Amino acid sequence: MFARILLIAGIAVLVWSAVAHSSQAHGAKQAVTVRPYDTLWSIAQRSITQGRYGGDVRDAIWRIEQANHLASADVRVGQTLVLP
């Protein structure tokens, strides 16, 4: 009986650590450099296809603006942006 409880507890810890590890990787910030003809919209759209922001481009733009302290959606070539 004790061995069974110990086994179940061990499995629970392994599952919990795997879930915690995968959620940290998804929440990691990423830096991107603005390329020619990039707009904040196109950068946000690329980020969405990588599984960020739940599919809403407007929300992605807002989050990128907030994370980078941008007053507008204007970006320039060579600028580095953090994608939260």
The pLDDT value recorded for residue 33 is: 97
Kindly give, in sequence order, each residue whose CB lies less than 8 Å from that of residue 69, ignoring residues fewer than 6 positions away. none
CB 44 within 8 A of CB 64: yes
47: confidence class by pLDDT, cuts 50, 70, 90:
confident
The pLDDT value recorded for residue 24 is: 43
The pLDDT value recorded for residue 1 is: 79
DSSP state of 35: P
The arithmetic mean of pLDDT across residues 43-71, rounded, is 89
The mean predicted confidence, pLDDT, of the chain is 81
Domains of the chain: 2-83 (3.10.350.10)
